[in-house]
Structure 1
């Protein structure tokens, strides 16, 4: 069972960006932590977020401090429903390739994985900067400037987690 969790976490960490450049997000872009005007703590539990919803103001830069109190790896991803659906497809496809690629002594075949995208224990960011993976018992951060109102969500796109309810609305006022 532990090998499955490790495999899932590595599959997530090795994914390419699904959204292109950070400039492609209508609702905002990643920002340096020094520009944050507010810090919001989000606890990731197994199949739940606390708080269940978030509110920000257009123009605000928020530093999200993400704490995984669960036993599974979880993701904090900002996007709309279509972005989450696309990201989930990529994660499932990558997971399938990883599991069929074979196993080595650690339970994983790491050939072909881009380790430069992996940030063990501290999360990872996809190319768009709107996602971070947080391992069990770990903390990570994501700082984001919200540009304009848009119907977005924060979600965990680890296979099955979004569908099990690990998603919440993020209101941009």
Structure 2
């Protein structure tokens, strides 16, 4: 019993250290961040001419701010918004598409022709991240981009 209590105290202490070094996590815990209006950023996966590109293909976010990334696919083929390292460096509140809301860790979002999805998140870690469409041949055809997160 003493061992379990000791482990619990150590884990609690480590969690306090992590939260104190990540203001976005601290704000999330207190609910302040969820009251912050989400900054809307729109990205088109492809276009009506079926060109294989993200518009825009360069995205910039600030760590600790809440965003709503609106993804649309106006093309006649499916596309993926794939940025695993970026997804690992953010806290996802939700992904909403139609009448479905998904919560938890998200690493890529598939959009079928004409689809729209909203990805609400808070960047936690600064860096440069690669964006690509993982449909066979799309990355090679130039459907790539870069995501930058600053402090």
Q: TM-score range by the shorter chain?
A: 0.5 to 0.7
Match of 1:138 among 110, 115, 128: 115
Give how far 1:75 is off. Answer: 1.0
Q: Give the structure 2 partner of residue 76 of structure 1.
A: 81
Flag the structure with higher strand content: 2
Give how far 1:36 is off. Answer: 5.3
Match of 2:67 among 62, 66, 86: 62
SS of aligned partner of 2:127: coil
Q: 8 Å contact 2:39–2:66 — kept in the other structure?
A: yes
Give how far 1:146 is off. Answer: 0.6
Match of 1:161 among 138, 141, 144: 138
Give how far 1:151 is off. Answer: 2.3
Q: 8 Å contact 2:70–2:118 — kept in the other structure?
A: yes
Matched residue count: 109
User: Which is higher, the Rg of structure 1 or of structure 2?
Assistant: 2
1:44 is the counterpart of 2:21? no
Residues 96-111 of structure 1 aligned to structure 2 (within 5 Å): none
CA distance change for structure 1 residues 35 and 72 in 2, over 3 Å: closer, same or farther? farther
Give the TM-score normalised by the residue count of structure 1: 0.51
Bigger RCO (CA 8 Å, 6+ sep): 1
Q: 8 Å contact 2:83–2:129 — kept in the other structure?
A: yes
Give the TM-score normalised by the residue count of structure 2: 0.58
SS of aligned partner of 2:118: strand
CA distance change for structure 1 residues 54 and 163 in 2, over 3 Å: closer, same or farther? same
Alpha-carbon distance between aligned partners in 2 of 1:167 and 1:74, rounded to the nearest angstrom: 11
User: Can you give the 5+ residue segments of structure 2 that lack an aligned partner in the other structure?
Assistant: 1-23, 89-95
Q: 8 Å contact 1:123–1:132 — kept in the other structure?
A: no
SS of aligned partner of 1:151: strand
Alpha-carbon distance between aligned partners in 2 of 1:64 and 1:123, rounded to the nearest angstrom: 16
User: Can you give the 5+ residue segments of structure 1 that lack an aligned partner in the other structure?
Assistant: 1-27, 84-118
